[in-house]
Structure 1
Amino acid sequence: MSEVKLTAETRNEFGKGAARRIRRENKVPGVLYGHGSDPVHLTLPGHDLMMALKTPNVLLSLDLDGKTELAIPKAVQRDPLKGFLEHVDLLLVKRGEKVTVEIPVHTEGDLAPGGNLLEHVLNALPVEAEATHIPETVSVSVEGLEAGASILAKDITLPNGVTLAVDEDAVVLQVLAAQAEEPAAEGAEGEESAEA
């Protein structure tokens, strides 16, 4: 798992006006909390943070007032139209500490022929992992699966040190049968013969 270094500044101004000023400077307001400590209000570099958040569950190494703190993103707010970062909540973590996160589920392979559909019941799998060793994704083979088949959480192979944080019988993926379309031509012919 990659660790991204960011320089953060503590901030004393709060509210919408202060947040707008911060965003105009291409920075993002945020809060760092956890381990029973008081929340710390931060300002983070906008572009660097945006690039870091492209990696799921990225580990952030924050240079904050001369100290280095490790954190993972807990909640990210984006502008619904433009997509830019508006605010970020970061959770303070320590090396060796276990955290519960959701990792994206990626599929590999092709379903059995027949036009069946693959439904992602869970797009992300809740797991518990060491804060410094969170896997970026988990891969699942769907090669040759037929309609009615499903993959449960317990069927997914996880890296060493990673455990499920969801019921092991929870359905993660299932294959749905292709829907047969009703022939529209028959109904139209029946109406014509009724009119005659």
Structure 2
Amino acid sequence: MSESYELAAERRERVGKGSARALRRENKIPAVIYGDKKDPLSIALPYKDVHLKATTPGFLTTIATIDVDGEKIQVLPKDFQVDVVKDFTMHVDFLRVGKNTQVTVAIPVHFINEEQSPGLHPTASEDENGDPIVPGVLNVVRHEVEVVCAATSIPDALELDLAGAEMGASLHISSVKLPKGVEPTITDRDFTIATIAAADSLASQSDDEEVTETEVIEQNVDTVEGEESATEEAGTDRPDQD
């Protein structure tokens, strides 16, 4: 799990578009802390600190501590909005992390021992007929895998070992050694993470084949029973968005 960090915040007494715009003019970002069966808390954070974290890989999978006027609250960032034109962070939703909080998060997949894959790095340059052997291509079907785990035990990445993988191999979630307490959200099948295909066959794959292999990963959803998204739970705060 990535190293935790701390942010200083102040409570917001006013919410709404006008208040949010005023905060941004002061180089602050409006945010909401929700969950753990407590009332939503509207806060303001320093823009520079939050934008730096939000644009860093692992932001949505790293526990943080927010100091709100002396009260330290452990949270996990769940969502953030970015202005598509000006590319600045506009708003952040944080989930309170309790003792038994379970979350659903998308974890990146890292591929290791690629050089030990005969399909990607054949040991011979010619086959038994004297024809040249062309190395295969790693076709990544899923760059991330959605899992359920404790909020305090989110892995930085999942590793898939390519050692021994031959041409035409199909590598599934069962090939990934998941950390204790980490389970994929898809449990009804051994879904594909990657394949090793010939370069020419990869280029000629049909759209139907790609759709069959690739599933759409839904946005991160909090799995804590009884919790709602910040949009629903802190409905009066959403008008902050311009």
Same fold (TM over 0.5): yes
> Which stretch shifts more, 91-100 or 71-80?
91-100
> Is 1:92 paired with 2:96?
yes
* Residues 80 and 175 of structure 1, relative CA distance in 2, 3 Å threshold: farther
Say whether the 8 Å CA contact 2:36–2:98 is kept in structure 1.
no
RMSD: 2.5
Say whether the 8 Å CA contact 2:34–2:41 is kept in structure 1.
yes
| More helix, by proportion | 2
- 1:157-176 to structure 2, matched below 5 A, reads 157-167=177-187, 169-176=190-197
Q: CA deviation at 1:77?
A: 1.4
TM-score in terms of structure 2 length = 0.65
- 1:100-139 to structure 2, matched below 5 A, reads 100-108=104-112, 109-110=114-115, 112-113=120-121, 114-139=134-159
Amino acid across the alignment from 2:34: Y
Deviations 1:108-137 (A, max 9, x none): 224524353323322211122221221111
- 1:28-67 to structure 2, matched below 5 A, reads 28-53=29-54, 54-56=56-58, 57-67=61-71
SS in 1 for 2:23: helix
> Is 1:83 paired with 2:87?
yes
> Which stretch shifts more, 62-71 or 47-56?
47-56
Q: CA deviation at 1:156?
A: 0.6
| More strand, by proportion | 1
Q: CA deviation at 1:74?
A: 1.0
Amino acid across the alignment from 2:191: A
Structure 2: gaps of 5 or more residues: 122-133, 204-242
Say whether the 8 Å CA contact 1:6–1:63 is kept in structure 2.
yes
Sequence identity (%) = 35
Hey, what's the Cα distance between the residues in 2 that align with 1:21 and 1:147?
Answer: 58
Counterpart of 2:8 in structure 1 is: 7
Hey, what's the Cα distance between the residues in 1 that align with 2:17 and 2:136?
Answer: 49
Q: Which consecutive aligned stretches of 4+ in structure 1 deviate over 6 angstroms post-superposition?
A: none
Say whether the 8 Å CA contact 1:4–1:52 is kept in structure 2.
no
Say whether the 8 Å CA contact 2:161–2:176 is kept in structure 1.
no
Structure 1: gaps of 5 or more residues: 182-196
Hey, what's the Cα distance between the residues in 2 that align with 1:83 and 1:116?
Answer: 38
* Residues 176 and 23 of structure 1, relative CA distance in 2, 3 Å threshold: farther
Higher RCO (Cα < 8 Å, 6 or more apart): 2
* Residues 177 and 33 of structure 1, relative CA distance in 2, 3 Å threshold: same
